[in-house]
Structure 1
Amino acid sequence: MRGHSPALPTPRVRARGAALAAFVALAPLISSAAAAVGPQEITAKLPYDCALPSGPQRVAVRVTATLPDRAKAGEAIRPVGVTTTVELPAAAVADLTALKAVTVVPETRLALDVVQHGAKAAALWRGTSGATPPVAVPAKGPLTLTTTGDVPTVTAGADGDLTLTATTLGVDLALGAADGASTTPASLSLDCTLAKDADGHGLLATVPVGPLTPTPTPSGSPSPPPSASGRPVDPAPSKGSASPKGPGAPKGSTKPGTPGEGVGGSRGKAPKVGDARAGASAARPPAPRCVNENPTSKSLTAYITGYSNVRKLGGASQIPVSCVQIEQGDPQIAFPPDGTIHLLQESEAHLDHQGRKQTPPFKSTFLTFGFTPTTATMILEQAGPMTVASDVLLVFPDNIAETYVRAPLVLRVLDVEVNGTRLDVGPSCRTRTPLSSPEPDPAKYPGPHLVMLGKGQLINGTDATGYVLTSGGPLTGEVTIPAFTGCGTGGEDLDRLLTASISGPGNYIKQIQGQTCAVTVEVPTEGQCTEDRQPYEVPVPER
């Protein structure tokens, strides 16, 4: 997003009021509770068929939440206390044991259809295990996993019953080995479909909208579709009509880091009206596929690429263009004791390469011991949640943004050639733990992980400079490469060789993130998204 600060005077006596004004501008994008008569508790027991390494398995899923028993048109309906419990059968536990996993950290992605008067919108209920310890994998099944999390609000644009129906389910498991390190692979993702024999076909809840005696929708005037973004969505414009711009990332926007607009109705091919990029896609450089299959109103996608030094080898490795999926958090305003005013936002993200949380494979060539050419094929594999924490210091008119990106990444070595001769490192060669960086807040972000910092400035009337989440920019950091494990075959232990050649501290890293695509904006601003909702901007690595 090309953000800039609002046109407000600079004296500090006006700063607090100006900051509040900026926060009010974000208010439509922040969920708010709906006025309702009372709560309704829902508990749904749903059978799902999930794809596991050993084949499809029936999995029992229980979803609980609290919803209002009635709401008003135009007011946000907030589900609270959303909990998803997944019971994996014995066969699934055997699959985890075969991968040598002794613990798992679960995340869930429950997709829903939100329907009113035949108009449909999509919502995604995400859940995590929070700060609880990893779940131990039993010697034999079953294994029960529980996740919770805040979910999007829903707003109905007219009176009438609104239904929420569960559809697909994704279960992401971060796997832990006996020594506390990650397994190979470091994660397992299960794609699940609702079983055909599910009672009620996945219906979770019905919320009446309007007065006790609902007002019927006039014939020939369908109500606007419900929105999973927390506000009504206008019907799609007719052919030839002007389409309003969503706030995904227009130039001149005064809302840095805000989510894109939600899209009402069933997702289809984006309309071409007002799309200035329609004839320019041929100029876009080639890039890996980067599509969010289950987006919400806060979903962003972006490409990232750059270099990482390998200090011991006196060279740098280029990390290829990689897809990042981002789910924005709600912005919050903070008034710390020092008298400053901050706009905070913490988002979640993950790498995505062909459905796996990793970069594409990449090759790097170094002179080992200063004279032997060595080529290695590697990937960076995500071993846990990635967070994007943004802090905008509101000092008008030149707001200062700092963003920390934290990601636990394991370096896996797939293939090595030394002076043209293949060195068989085997299928399990990787760093013993994730890469690690100095962490400014270790109490909040424990454990080894990469830390990159982006700094930006949003000056009134101009595009953002430096790094801002939605418009991208440079991210830099310093990383320690841990010791290697699992390298070698046939009794040949290559761990010490790779550790001596590569591992160590002080490796500078610089990544360039491109402009994000606000996935669910009906007609994105020029240069944000391709017609099939992939990021339009493919960044170029910089040293």
Structure 2
Amino acid sequence: MTGHRPALRTPRGRARGAAIAAFVALAPLIPSAAAAVGSQEITAKLPYDCALPSGTQRAAVRVTAAFPDRAKAGEAIRPTGVTTTVELPAAAVADLTALKATTVVPETRLALDVAQHEAKAQALWRGTARPVPLPAEGTLTLTTTGDAPAVTAAADGDLTLTATGLAVDLALGTADGAPTAPPSLSLACTLAKDADGHGLLATVPIGPATGTPAPSGSPSPSAPTAPASGRPTDPASPSGSAAPGAPGAPGGKDKDKDKDKAPKVGDARAGLAADRPPAPPCVKENPTDKSLNAYITGYSNVRKLAGASLIPVSCVQIEQGDPEISFPPDGSIHLLQKSDAYLDYQGRKQTPPFTSTFLTFGFTPTTATMILEQAGPMTVASDVLLVFPDNIAETYVRAPLVLRVLNVEVNGTRLDVGPSCRTETPLSSPEPDPATYPGPHLVMLGKGQLINGTDATGYVLTSGGPLTGEVTIPAFTGCGAGGENLDRLLTASISGSGNYVKQIQGQTCAVGVEVPTEGQCTEDRQPYVVPAPER
């Protein structure tokens, strides 16, 4: 066999993978691009006031990006090289140190007004970065990079992009790698009133240059309009709201007419539809020709609580192993492959935090925020029975996952479980091959088939599908604060066997190929498909 990703036509899109060995796995951002010819590079220095535990503090924010010098109406304008640098003062470092944090993993969400004439739309620039150590003294500088949504002007005339609200999300870590209590902080920042230019980042002329005759039938260029104001918006929302009474706002004058004239803002991730479900970043660093990534999500029952917990959309990075051919005595032919995989969230091998609510002991509403941490290698073992013209696959995914509890509320009252509340050992499942795979780990099985060698049913990595298993939740340890031991309470409420798990994996993205297959990857090599959980 040659190569690792022959094309397979599946109901959910063509896929790439190792010749039949694509039945494998369970499953910051694009580098800043150089400014293209005919572009304008901007650097805006903006003061923001950010809410911190110690009070409001001034932060110095620098935004850089590149835009085209000019564009046509109806032409997509995509900012490149988007970087957001936030310098927090020493008082902010003291706040984080007081929480026993030694590192932070930042995410930024910069809200913008995109305006042309009297019409306005909102955009959101997201940025991420790897973990940053806290300095012993002085300021903390956080630099994030990320994607910016494409903007399309509806008519000729100057298009302005103006920064408004800013949110800085900080995932906190201690020296031993454990989360702090709380495990994260979200800083809401508003543009200071004394900001130069009121937050204006860029002006892009739309239409022919002055003195150039417009094509027949095209709108005439309009006079430049005043830049949009730096009105604060909710940075947590990808689309803010226009001021009441403004054009395009509910109750505004000629709202339907102005809405048609408003600039169109696409998805921040290149090549995605605006209605694509949200998902955390999933970018492979230093990929090889065997690298894949995918999103997973699903449910896990908690039998004692007679409910199910939603496992959030999570990124999984996969490195395929070399396939081997096996010839058992029965005359069949099998293709065997083992691959390595790991969860990937903000540079850590874990899921994003997720929150579930149950009725503890049948009557007390209890809400817990949790994460699943990978405690060792995740392995993917596939056995493909080659039967012409069909191929039948069984894929076992084995993952040593520790359940960590971050926050608990009982009937609306916070129950302090401390920063180290976790299961004593990883979750465990019945293991069909304990000699080869010793130790506790979650085991999930996916069964799939290629009909006529092309159409996939069930679980096939290249098109995704369901993975199921049964898990035992071990006893808890390290739970409690202030001398109160809550281990037995959580163990009695949650721990036990017979908990059914069903995960859905989406279409993979072959990140190492020169030109990804359409429908598999975004332009920055993230998985295009975000699966929906199924019970």
TM-score by length of 1: 0.50
2:194 — aligned with what?
197
Q: What amino acid is the match of 1:509? A: V
- Listed as ranges, the matches of 1:72-83 within 5 Å are 72-83=72-83
Q: What amino acid is the match of 1:381? A: M
What is the CA-CA distance between 1:359 and the residue it aligns to?
A: 1.3
User: What secondary structure does 2:193 align onto?
Assistant: coil
What is the CA-CA distance between 1:164 and the residue it aligns to?
A: 1.1
What is the CA-CA distance between 1:183 and the residue it aligns to?
A: 1.1
1:431 — aligned with what?
421
Please tell me whether the aligned partners of residues 432 and 482 of structure 1 are also in contact (alpha carbons under 8 angstroms).
no
What is the CA-CA distance between 1:40 and the residue it aligns to?
A: 1.3
1:81-112, Cα deviation, whole Å (9 max, x unpaired): 11111111112111111211111111111111
Q: For residues 151 and 326 of structure 1, do their structure 2 counterparts lie closer, same or farther at Cα, with a shift above 3 Å needed?
A: farther
What is the CA-CA distance between 1:150 and the residue it aligns to?
A: 2.2
Please tell me whether the aligned partners of residues 103 and 175 of structure 1 are also in contact (alpha carbons under 8 angstroms).
yes
User: What secondary structure does 2:95 align onto?
Assistant: helix
1:271 — aligned with what?
none
- Listed as ranges, the matches of 1:209-248 within 5 Å are 209-213=206-210
1:88 — aligned with what?
88
Please tell me whether the aligned partners of residues 169 and 186 of structure 2 are also in contact (alpha carbons under 8 angstroms).
yes
What is the CA-CA distance between 1:67 and the residue it aligns to?
A: 1.6
| CA distance in 2 between partners of 1:316 and 1:262 (Å) | 34
What is the CA-CA distance between 1:500 and the residue it aligns to?
A: 10
Q: For residues 150 and 320 of structure 1, do their structure 2 counterparts lie closer, same or farther at Cα, with a shift above 3 Å needed?
A: same
| CA distance in 2 between partners of 1:486 and 1:112 (Å) | 44
Please tell me whether the aligned partners of residues 408 and 450 of structure 1 are also in contact (alpha carbons under 8 angstroms).
no
| CA distance in 2 between partners of 1:416 and 1:482 (Å) | 21
Q: Give me the identity figure in percent.
A: 61
| CA distance in 2 between partners of 1:81 and 1:384 (Å) | 32
Q: What amino acid is the match of 1:380? A: T
1:116 — aligned with what?
116
User: What secondary structure does 1:94 align onto?
Assistant: helix
What is the CA-CA distance between 1:138 and the residue it aligns to?
A: 2.1
Please tell me whether the aligned partners of residues 43 and 64 of structure 2 are also in contact (alpha carbons under 8 angstroms).
yes
1:153 — aligned with what?
150
2:45 — aligned with what?
45
Is 1:181 the counterpart of 2:178? The answer is: yes
What is the CA-CA distance between 1:129 and the residue it aligns to?
A: 0.7
- Calculate the aligned-residue CA RMSD, in Å: 6.4
User: What secondary structure does 1:359 align onto?
Assistant: strand
1:380 — aligned with what?
369
Aligned match of 2:164 in 156, 163, 167? 167
Is 1:61 the counterpart of 2:48? The answer is: no
What is the CA-CA distance between 1:414 and the residue it aligns to?
A: 3.4
Q: For residues 153 and 415 of structure 1, do their structure 2 counterparts lie closer, same or farther at Cα, with a shift above 3 Å needed?
A: closer
| CA distance in 1 between partners of 2:141 and 2:471 (Å) | 36
Q: For residues 190 and 209 of structure 1, do their structure 2 counterparts lie closer, same or farther at Cα, with a shift above 3 Å needed?
A: same
User: What secondary structure does 1:91 align onto?
Assistant: helix
Aligned match of 2:205 in 203, 208, 211? 208
1:389-433, Cα deviation, whole Å (9 max, x unpaired): xxxxxxxxxxx9x9x9x999732463799xxxxxx9744165348
What is the CA-CA distance between 1:61 and the residue it aligns to?
A: 0.7
What is the CA-CA distance between 1:145 and the residue it aligns to?
A: 0.7
Please tell me whether the aligned partners of residues 103 and 137 of structure 1 are also in contact (alpha carbons under 8 angstroms).
yes
1:414 — aligned with what?
408
Q: For residues 207 and 374 of structure 1, do their structure 2 counterparts lie closer, same or farther at Cα, with a shift above 3 Å needed?
A: closer
| CA distance in 2 between partners of 1:321 and 1:126 (Å) | 25
What is the CA-CA distance between 1:115 and the residue it aligns to?
A: 1.4
Aligned match of 2:301 in 304, 308, 319? 308
Q: What amino acid is the match of 2:418? A: S
User: What secondary structure does 1:157 align onto?
Assistant: coil
Q: For residues 415 and 46 of structure 1, do their structure 2 counterparts lie closer, same or farther at Cα, with a shift above 3 Å needed?
A: closer
1:481-538, Cα deviation, whole Å (9 max, x unpaired): 687554345535555886799779996434799xxxxxxxxxxxxxxxxxxxxxxxx9
Please tell me whether the aligned partners of residues 182 and 406 of structure 2 are also in contact (alpha carbons under 8 angstroms).
no
What is the CA-CA distance between 1:75 and the residue it aligns to?
A: 2.3
- Alignment length, in residue pairs? 376
Q: What amino acid is the match of 2:368? A: I
Q: What amino acid is the match of 1:174? A: A
Please tell me whether the aligned partners of residues 477 and 487 of structure 2 are also in contact (alpha carbons under 8 angstroms).
yes
Please tell me whether the aligned partners of residues 172 and 184 of structure 2 are also in contact (alpha carbons under 8 angstroms).
yes
Q: What amino acid is the match of 1:362? A: F
Please tell me whether the aligned partners of residues 431 and 482 of structure 1 are also in contact (alpha carbons under 8 angstroms).
no
2:234 — aligned with what?
none
User: What secondary structure does 2:483 align onto?
Assistant: coil
User: What secondary structure does 1:92 align onto?
Assistant: helix
1:442-486, Cα deviation, whole Å (9 max, x unpaired): xxxxxxx99999999999xxxx99899xxx997756668687554
2:251 — aligned with what?
none
Q: Which runs of 5+ in 2 are unaligned?
A: 1-5, 15-32, 224-237, 240-247, 249-253, 261-265, 279-296, 316-321, 325-342, 347-351, 375-392, 429-440, 506-531
| CA distance in 1 between partners of 2:458 and 2:97 (Å) | 46
Aligned match of 1:491 in 483, 488, 499? 483
Please tell me whether the aligned partners of residues 436 and 480 of structure 1 are also in contact (alpha carbons under 8 angstroms).
no
User: What secondary structure does 2:355 align onto?
Assistant: coil
Aligned match of 1:359 in 340, 355, 361? 355
Please tell me whether the aligned partners of residues 67 and 78 of structure 1 are also in contact (alpha carbons under 8 angstroms).
yes
1:223-273, Cα deviation, whole Å (9 max, x unpaired): xxxxx99xxxx99867xx9xxxxx99xxxxxxxxx954479xxxxxxxxxx
| CA distance in 1 between partners of 2:409 and 2:52 (Å) | 27
What is the CA-CA distance between 1:337 and the residue it aligns to?
A: 12
Q: Which runs of 5+ in 1 are unaligned?
A: 1-14, 24-32, 223-227, 242-246, 249-257, 264-290, 293-303, 328-335, 339-346, 351-355, 366-372, 386-399, 418-423, 439-448, 514-537
| CA distance in 2 between partners of 1:112 and 1:326 (Å) | 28
Q: What amino acid is the match of 1:53? A: P
Please tell me whether the aligned partners of residues 103 and 134 of structure 2 are also in contact (alpha carbons under 8 angstroms).
yes
Q: What amino acid is the match of 2:479? A: C
| CA distance in 2 between partners of 1:95 and 1:156 (Å) | 43
User: What secondary structure does 2:187 align onto?
Assistant: strand
2:431 — aligned with what?
none
User: What secondary structure does 1:95 align onto?
Assistant: helix
TM-score by length of 2: 0.51
| CA distance in 2 between partners of 1:108 and 1:383 (Å) | 24
What is the CA-CA distance between 1:146 and the residue it aligns to?
A: 0.8
| CA distance in 2 between partners of 1:82 and 1:108 (Å) | 12
Q: For residues 511 and 435 of structure 1, do their structure 2 counterparts lie closer, same or farther at Cα, with a shift above 3 Å needed?
A: farther
Q: For residues 426 and 308 of structure 1, do their structure 2 counterparts lie closer, same or farther at Cα, with a shift above 3 Å needed?
A: same
Q: What amino acid is the match of 1:428? A: G
Aligned match of 2:134 in 137, 156, 169? 137
| CA distance in 2 between partners of 1:507 and 1:379 (Å) | 18
Please tell me whether the aligned partners of residues 369 and 406 of structure 2 are also in contact (alpha carbons under 8 angstroms).
yes
| CA distance in 2 between partners of 1:434 and 1:169 (Å) | 39
Q: What amino acid is the match of 1:129? A: A
Q: For residues 455 and 99 of structure 1, do their structure 2 counterparts lie closer, same or farther at Cα, with a shift above 3 Å needed?
A: farther
Please tell me whether the aligned partners of residues 317 and 364 of structure 1 are also in contact (alpha carbons under 8 angstroms).
no
